[in-house]
Structure 1
Amino acid sequence: MRGKFITFEGADGGGKSTQVQLAADYLRQRGYEVVVSREPGGTPLAEKVRALVLDPELPLSNISQTLLYLAARSEHADKLLRPAVAAGKIVLCDRFSDSTLVYQGLALGKGAEEVNELRLLNAFAAGGLTPDLTLLLDGAPKLLARRRERRGVSDRYERQGLDYQHKLRQGFLALAQAEPERIKIINAEGDLQAVAGAVQRALDALLDGAE
């Protein structure tokens, strides 16, 4: 039986990494075999790419960033994601192709033609792998910024300021509006357990419907 590929998206500060781990624990309690990964990353090569693209001291053009992300995605999908789904496992991934569409496209004001080019490149890099469900952890940029400050987060995206964070949020919400069946918006402003409960309900709706 084919497994499920579930991605977690949204701007930093929404609690994606924590919610991925809580979701994995919940699904394992339900008896599922779960694989947890992240982008960029998930394989030794892709983790090296991650260090490059997130280094705030390393100047990279948007095209260079995009191609590096896509190279990491190709490796990740080929070596880990597609085999795990084919083996019947539930794969939870912190970010995937929607992040590329937003960070390298919509948040930079790219037009429909350029965003569609990104979609084609994403499909090529992922070998046709698409999420069965995407959970968008959404919250007010000021609130998420305060959370990042408490964690001491500083990368090339963090340094672009609050206006850029608003553009990121708008980009993710635009994708959710365009694909409401796949992308479910989770209010990330609540406490940890409230957000986890919303995530679990979305997972149940997908998995119970597939059984």
Structure 2
Amino acid sequence: MSGLYITIEGLDGSGKTTQLEKLAEWLRDAGHTVVATREPGGTELGQLVRDIVLHHRGDIAPRAEALLFAADRAHHIATKVRPALERGEVVIQDRYIDSSVAFQGAGRVLDPAEVRRLSEWATEGLYPTLTVLLDLDPALARERIDAAQKVFDRIEAEAAEFSRRIRAAYLEFAAAQPERWLVLDATLSADELAAAIRSRVAALLTTDGTVGGAG
């Protein structure tokens, strides 16, 4: 595939949406065709899954939750992400496989290796070239969510220990694969974060400004 695949990870409240939008705008201004998407919810089917896993009023068994995310991911990659990459476009995505391994593996205390294998099967092993982690202390993430005065979804309503396990998992992933991960302090200003991300992404583009290849 000739496109470039970038994912953004982090706790809720870390600023993923803001950075996705800033990066997409910068790349479009530079002449790239950009697909900005998210998981779950990047397709019509994915939005239905998102409503279930985030807003279902009853309990969802951890394994069922992991399977729902994997089902969304399989459809999303097959119908939206791979076609865009094959066209040579840039895909920027809010959450991907690493989210499931962190949230359902570490957070829900399932076997992380099994959760990863499930998503790898669902996506036929597709990984991004770059994953940006906006690292944030869970207590500060909670303060940001509270300040937004929004209704908590099922994930956001979890106890603090849930978020601490997720953060630790993310940092472990990044340490194991530094060539794929860019870890940034999410307490930096939005503009500082955007500049750091642009610098890393620019290195993935060829000298004439075209996409240098997908992961």
Band of TM-score, shorter chain: over 0.9
1:83-162 superposed matches below 5 A: 83-110=83-110, 114-151=111-148, 152-162=150-160
Q: Which residue of 2 aligns with 1:194?
A: 192
What is the CA RMSD across the aligned residues, in angstroms?
A: 1.5
Unaligned 5+ residue runs, structure 2?
A: none
Q: Which residue of 2 aligns with 1:175?
A: 173
The answer on whether the counterparts of 1:77 and 1:127 sit within 8 Å (CA) in structure 2 is no
Aligned partners of 1:137, 1:35: CA distance in 2, in Å? 20
The answer on whether the counterparts of 2:62 and 2:108 sit within 8 Å (CA) in structure 1 is no
Aligned positions, number: 208
Aligned partners of 1:85, 1:2: CA distance in 2, in Å? 6
- 1:190 partner SS: coil
Q: With structure 2 as the length reference, what TM-score do the two structures score? A: 0.92
Tell me the percent identity. Answer: 37
Aligned partners of 1:129, 1:63: CA distance in 2, in Å? 22
Q: Which residue of 2 aligns with 1:40?
A: 40
Following superposition, the deviation at residue 207 of structure 1 comes to 2.0
Q: Match for 1:171: what amino acid? A: A
Following superposition, the deviation at residue 194 of structure 1 comes to 1.1
Aligned partners of 2:38, 2:161: CA distance in 1, in Å? 26
CA separation of 1:44/1:18 partners in 2, compared to 1, >3 Å: closer, same or farther?
Answer: same
The answer on whether the counterparts of 1:101 and 1:118 sit within 8 Å (CA) in structure 2 is yes
Deviation by residue 1:35-62 (Cα, 9 ceiling, x = unmatched): 0000001111111000000015231010
Aligned partners of 2:27, 2:60: CA distance in 1, in Å? 38
